[in-house]
Amino acid sequence: MTDHLTTADYETIAAELDALREEIMSGLGERDASYIHRVIRWQRGLEIGGRALLLASSLPPAWLAGTATLTVAKILENMEIGHNVMHAQWDWMRDTKIHSTTWEWDNVSPAEQWKHSHNFVHHTFTNVLGKDNDVGYGILRVAPEQEWNPAHLAQPLYNLLLAMFFEYGVALHDLEIDKVWDGTADEEVTKAKLRAIGRKIARQWGKDYLAFPLLSGPQFLSTLSANATANVARNIWAHMIIFCGHFPGDVEVFGEERLDGETKGEWYVRQLCGSANISGGSLLHLMTGNLSHQIEHHLFPDMPSNRYAEIAPRVRALCDKYDLPYHTGTLSKQVTSTWKKIVRYAFPGGKPSATAS
């Protein structure tokens, strides 16, 4: 889909996107700071409200209301706050409480490990087979260029389990399991990472499955089940949004040779071709952490998320100008497309994409 682009085209694309980024980043100010502070207040209020309702969780209406409220709070913390804060989107504020170097999210994945596997590896090598571990998360075949083996026949089931326990899959991501399996991983580094994951899991379990259930007294078991339900629901939502931004049928993958001498313009185009958006309203965008604008996020991962909707029409116009794809669709369309791909590539074969090499 990019064979028609010339060297001059790539240079112009880079210049136009660099200028767009500079325009937005130089204009950040009070309204942006107010936005993230407001979202944090909402999230904390929802969490407090949800946990308060669960003090009466033996009553079905309180259990349902508390679980739903806590689920929304966890989604906001994970998606719009934690993910984006750790992308350094709010570092320009110089607020040590909302800074990529100090934030630790409500998730079993240690922040430092996530920042390496996601911010550096994934965002540098987006959709490059053999470099980007997010392509299939090490267990799924999501492109015909990936070698098939009989274990992939069960990948629809793997994907269901990954969705339910997504935070644990994310936590193990930086271990590079393939290297652990083939013996090329540094054993001491792996052990240190596992210890950090263990400490984070103990902290999260202690909070959700011991401390808060104990605070609810005789409602211990019902509060425990509510917290577990909220975590699973948050995991399923995060998995769905992230997969819809990376794996719908028209998103492209690339061979490692694509990286040889890659220019800034070529990097930008790879982000455009290797991402997909989800169309919808402002509430959907908020609940996705604005990863419904995955294309814009991949172009500018450190741009505050509240600005993605603003720049999306201009990015799309640039794609039209240079005859580049701008993958987007409703949530139902992207979910269906992603699952079709996961089911199709559970079996051998498939037609390689034109840009995979």
Position 353 confidence tier, pLDDT thresholds 50, 70, 90: low
- As given in the structure block, the two tokens for residue 308 are 């993605």
**Phi then psi for 278, rounded to 5 degrees?**
-120, 120
List Cβ neighbours of 257 (8 Å cut-off, separation of 6 or more).
357
Helix extents (H) in 247-353: 264-273, 282-287, 294-299, 308-321, 331-344
pLDDT for 336 beyond 60:
yes
Spell 258-278 as b/e; 16+ CB within 10 A means b: bbeeeeebbbbbbbbbbbbbb
pLDDT digits (tens, 9 = 90+) for 211-252: 999 999 999 999 999 999 999 999 999 999 999 999 998 899
Q: Is the dihedral of CA 103, 286, 337, 298 positive or negative?
A: negative
Position 287 confidence tier, pLDDT thresholds 50, 70, 90: very high
Amino acid symbol at 91? D
Using a cut of 0.85, tell me whether the model's pTM lies above it. Answer: yes
- As given in the structure block, the two tokens for residue 51 are 């946990």
Distance from C-alpha of 134 to C-alpha of 121, rounded to nearest angstrom:
9
Quick one: residue 176, left, alpha or beta (phi over 0 = left, psi -120 to 50 = alpha)? left
pLDDT for 318 beyond 60:
yes
List Cβ neighbours of 286 (8 Å cut-off, separation of 6 or more).
39, 76, 80
Position 174 confidence tier, pLDDT thresholds 50, 70, 90: confident
Q: What's the pLDDT score for residue 44? A: 98
When pLDDT is averaged across residues 180-196 and rounded to a whole number, the result is 83
pLDDT for 352 beyond 70:
no
310 and 24 Cβ atoms separated by less than 8 Å: yes
Distance from C-alpha of 128 to C-alpha of 256, rounded to nearest angstrom:
6
Distance from C-alpha of 100 to C-alpha of 7, rounded to nearest angstrom:
36
When pLDDT is averaged across residues 148-166 and rounded to a whole number, the result is 96
pLDDT for 166 beyond 70:
yes
Q: Which residue has the tokens 């946990």?
A: 51
Return the closest-CA partner of residue 353 out of 279, 247, 213, 278. Answer: 247
Q: Bridge-partner residues for 328, per DSSP? A: 277
Q: Which residue has the tokens 């994970």?
A: 78
Q: What's the pLDDT score for residue 265? A: 98
Query: Cα torsion for 280, 284, 285, 288, to the nearest 10°?
Result: -130
Give me the residue spans of the domains in the chain.
7-25+108-344
Position 356 confidence tier, pLDDT thresholds 50, 70, 90: very low
Helix extents (H) in the chain: 7-26, 30-53, 60-76, 84-85, 111-114, 123-124, 155-164, 166-173, 177-182, 187-206, 212-215, 220-246, 264-273, 282-287, 294-299, 308-321, 331-344
pLDDT for 138 beyond 90:
no
Residue 87 CA, chain-centre distance (Å), reads 11
pLDDT for 73 beyond 50:
yes
- As given in the structure block, the two tokens for residue 327 are 């993958």
- As given in the structure block, the two tokens for residue 67 are 């679980």
Distance from C-alpha of 208 to C-alpha of 123, rounded to nearest angstrom:
31
Q: What's the pLDDT score for residue 3? A: 86
